[in-house]
Structure 1
Amino acid sequence: MTGKQKAVLAVLLGAQFMFALDFSILTVALPRLQNELGFGLDTVQWVITAFALTAAGFMLMFGRIGDLIGRKVLFLTGMALLTASSLVGGFATTPLVLVIARVAQGLATAIVVPSGMALLTTSFPEGPLRTRALGLNGALLSLGFGSGAVLGGVLTDVWSWRWTFLINVPVGAVLLVAAAVLIVESRAVERLPLDVPGTATVTVGLLALVWGLTGAERHGWTSPDTVISLTAAIILLIAFYAIELRASAPLAPVRVLRSNAVRWGNLGGLITFSMESAVAFLLTLYMQQVLALTPMQAGLMFGCLGIGAFLGGTITSTIIERIGAKRTLVCGLLVQAANTVVLVWLTETVLVGVVMVLVTSFIGGLGHVLAIVSYTVVATSGIPDHEQGLATGLATMTQQVAFTVGIPVMSTIAATQYGPLQDGVATRDGVLAGTTLGFLIDGLIILVGALAISAFLRAPQPTITAASNADNLAPLRPRTDPSTPREPMKEN
Structure 2
Amino acid sequence: MTTDRRTGLVLFTSCLAQFMVVLDVSVVNVALPAMRDALGFDAEGLAWVVNAYTLAFAGFLLLGGRAADLFGRRRVFLVGLALFGLASLVGGLANDPALLLAARAAQGLGGAVLSPASLVILQTTYAEGAARAKAFGWWSAMGGIGGAAGGLAGGLLVALLSWRWIFLVNVPVVVLTVLLTLAVVRETRADDRPGLDVAGAVLVTAGLVALVYGVVSLESEPWTSWRVLGGIGVAVVLLGAFLLVQRRSRHPLVPLDVFRIRSVSTANVVILLITSAMFSMWFFVSLHMQSVLGFDALAAGLAFLPQSASVVVGSQISSRLLPRFGARVMIVGGGTLTAAGFAWFAFLTPTTSWAAGILGPGIAVSLGMGIVFPAVTTAATSGVGPELSGLVSGLVTTSRQIGGAIGLSVLSTLAAAHTAALLAEGATAPVAQTAGTTRAFAVAAVVVAAAALVALLVPAPRTAGRRDPGVTRAPGPERGGRAAPAARP
- TM normalised by structure 2 equals 0.93
Count matched residues: 476
1: distance between equivalents of 2:87 and 2:487? 40
Residue pair 1:288, 1:295 contacting (<8 A) in 2 also: yes
Seen in structure 2, the aligned counterparts of structure 1 residues 297 and 368 have a Cα distance that, compared at 3 Å, is same
Identity %: 34
Letter in 1 for 2:396: A
Letter in 2 for 1:165: F
2:417 equivalent in structure 1? 416
The partner residue of 2:340 within 338, 341, 352 is 338
Displacement after TM superposition at 1:355 (Å): 3.1
2:389 equivalent in structure 1? 388
Seen in structure 2, the aligned counterparts of structure 1 residues 2 and 468 have a Cα distance that, compared at 3 Å, is farther
Displacement after TM superposition at 1:299 (Å): 2.0
User: Could you say what secondary structure the match of 1:28 adopts?
Assistant: helix
The partner residue of 1:216 within 218, 233, 253 is 218
1: distance between equivalents of 2:297 and 2:117? 35
2: distance between equivalents of 1:426 and 1:148? 30
1:99-131 deviation per Cα after TM superposition (whole angstroms, max 9, x unaligned): 111011101001111111111111111111110
1:243 equivalent in structure 2? 245
- Superposed, 1:76-225 pairs within 5 Å as 76-225=78-227
Range 392-401 or range 136-145, more displaced: 136-145
Letter in 1 for 2:406: V
1:267 equivalent in structure 2? 269
- Superposed, 1:329-408 pairs within 5 Å as 329-351=331-353, 353-408=354-409
2: distance between equivalents of 1:305 and 1:399? 19
1: distance between equivalents of 2:81 and 2:466? 30
Displacement after TM superposition at 1:420 (Å): 5.9
Letter in 2 for 1:119: I
Displacement after TM superposition at 1:488 (Å): 6.6
- TM normalised by structure 1 equals 0.93
2:448 equivalent in structure 1? 446
RMSD: 2.0
- Superposed, 1:315-330 pairs within 5 Å as 315-330=317-332
2:470 equivalent in structure 1? none
User: Could you say what secondary structure the match of 1:221 adopts?
Assistant: coil
The partner residue of 1:55 within 49, 57, 64 is 57
1:133-187 deviation per Cα after TM superposition (whole angstroms, max 9, x unaligned): 0011111221111111111101111111111111111111011111012111111
User: Could you say what secondary structure the match of 2:30 adopts?
Assistant: coil
1:303 equivalent in structure 2? 305
2: distance between equivalents of 1:457 and 1:286? 36
Seen in structure 2, the aligned counterparts of structure 1 residues 487 and 347 have a Cα distance that, compared at 3 Å, is closer
Displacement after TM superposition at 1:92 (Å): 1.1
1: distance between equivalents of 2:223 and 2:19? 33
1: distance between equivalents of 2:213 and 2:168? 28
Residue pair 1:215, 1:226 contacting (<8 A) in 2 also: yes
User: Could you say what secondary structure the match of 1:43 adopts?
Assistant: helix
Residue pair 2:307, 2:366 contacting (<8 A) in 1 also: yes
Letter in 1 for 2:414: I
Which structure 2 segments of 5+ residues have no match?
468-472
1:473 equivalent in structure 2? none
Displacement after TM superposition at 1:350 (Å): 4.8
Letter in 1 for 2:464: Q
Displacement after TM superposition at 1:285 (Å): 2.5
Range 176-185 or range 389-398, more displaced: 176-185
2: distance between equivalents of 1:98 and 1:378? 38
